Amino acid sequence: MKEKPLVSVIVPIYKVEQYIVKSVESIINQTYRNLEIILVDDGSPDACGDIADEFAGKDARIRVIHKKNGGLSDARNAGLKVASGEYIYFFDSDDLVDIKLLETALQPYLTTQTDLVCFNYVTVDEISGDEKKTTFRPEEYRWRGKRTNLSIREYLGYRMGYCVWNKLYRADIIREHEISFEDNSKIFSEDICFNLYYLFYCHSVQVIPDYLYYYLYRQTSIMGKSKKEPRLDQFIELSKCYNAYLLRSHERSEMLYFQEIVFSELMKLQLRKVNSEERPFWVEKIKDKKFFYENSERAVRRIDKWIKVYGLFTGIKRWMGAAECYYSDNESRGLRTLRHIASRLKKN
């Protein structure tokens, strides 16, 4: 009988003393037992490191890494360096998972040829206890000869979620292409950048209908604070990282041709956190305005690229969103006309 594949679970730990026990226990108690659980103590000043060591003393599947504080990305990368499993799962140490998460998420890998498995999740408000389900349509997405299908249309179109913790990854893809997390202090949304790198090598993505992750929403957390204001500078750096990655590793990739679409989708994620009247204020605070204006203008001018990626109707709709979020002090007559058309179409 073929041995069940080993799954490496990477858990960064920093200042989560009040959550860590329940969180790690939800991994330990998984119905799928062939696990390598890597707890990465990222220089946490509280008792997290000691608690992690206690867990390791009770369960041989647990390995603890104690390191100097370097941030979430650095902690995950430390876990990746020592992970030996066939599949990789990233788990945040203040959240909870369904007891059958790994058993359920692993199943598509065992029965079909897929490169990534994604699932639904539940957001739990720490204060009220209210739950909100995030649901993605169950689907198998294939690249069909165009990398834009998975990276832009499906991923940035939010058909599989942006985070890493609602996904189970193939370790061989990560290792072969040396995929790692960029510095989250610079780009903030390291999950999006990691997924864009990973999806470049995918031919098939499976979205399953199960709700397997319970994300704890804390207003005082980094993610809680990020929902309140646009992080334009960090997302510009994310866009630059992705462009540099493509130029470094895939200079002939079709994705370079659509880089302004990727940029525009990332900017829309942030600008839509505030109403249209507030957006000029946040744009004015951008450090690299030249990069912002140049890429925004290219995205608005090239409606044909939006249609190539998304198809006619969805392409026009998403182009209108790009036009809505475009700002410049030196707007040409042609661009004003395009934005006016987009605005009228949106109202109708």
Would the pLDDT of 1 be above 60?
no
| Domain around 135 | 7-226
User: What pLDDT band is residue 328 in, cutting at 50, 70 and 90?
Assistant: low
Closest by Cα among 150, 143, 152, 141 to 306 = 152
Is there a single domain that holds both residue 261 and residue 337?
A: yes
Is there a single domain that holds both residue 159 and residue 212?
A: yes
How much is the pLDDT for 327? Answer: 59
Length, in residues, of the chain? 348
Q: DSSP per residue over 118-143, as a string?
A: EEEEEEEETTT--EEEE----EEEE-
* 320 part of a folded domain: yes
* 241 part of a folded domain: yes
Is there a single domain that holds both residue 54 and residue 155?
A: yes
Residue 31 burial (CB < 10 Å; 0-12/13-18/19+)?
Answer: exposed
How much is the pLDDT for 223? Answer: 55
* 64 part of a folded domain: yes
Is there a single domain that holds both residue 303 and residue 221?
A: no
* 1 part of a folded domain: no
Of 195, 226, 257, the domain-final residue: 226
User: What pLDDT band is residue 251 in, cutting at 50, 70 and 90?
Assistant: low
* 145 part of a folded domain: yes
How much is the pLDDT for 50? Answer: 98
pLDDT, tens only, 166-179: 999 999 999 999 99
Is there a single domain that holds both residue 47 and residue 135?
A: yes
* 3-class DSSP state of 68: coil
CA-CA distance, 115 to 99, in Å (whole number)?
23
Is there a single domain that holds both residue 335 and residue 321?
A: yes
Q: Give every CB contact of residue 216 below 8 A, 6+ residues apart in sequence.
A: 19, 94, 95, 96, 124, 126
* 2 part of a folded domain: no
- Tokens in use for 141? 């997405």
* 117 part of a folded domain: yes
Q: Please count the other Cβ atoms lying within 10 Å of the Cβ belonging to residue 62.
A: 22
* 3-class DSSP state of 218: coil
User: What pLDDT band is residue 4 in, cutting at 50, 70 and 90?
Assistant: very high
CA-CA distance, 226 to 229, in Å (whole number)?
6
Is there a single domain that holds both residue 100 and residue 176?
A: yes
Of 226, 243, 265, the domain-final residue: 226
pLDDT, tens only, 270-279: 999 999 889 8
Is there a single domain that holds both residue 243 and residue 341?
A: yes
Of 205, 226, 247, the domain-final residue: 226
How much is the pLDDT for 228? Answer: 73
How much is the pLDDT for 133? Answer: 98
How much is the pLDDT for 329? Answer: 47
How much is the pLDDT for 28? Answer: 98
- Count of domains observed in the chain: 2
pLDDT, greater one: 82 or 335: 82
Is there a single domain that holds both residue 139 and residue 264?
A: no
Among 21-35, 152-166, 187-201, 246-260, the least confident range: 246-260
* 96 part of a folded domain: yes
Is there a single domain that holds both residue 174 and residue 79?
A: yes
pLDDT, tens only, 95-128: 999 999 999 999 999 999 999 999 999 999 999 9
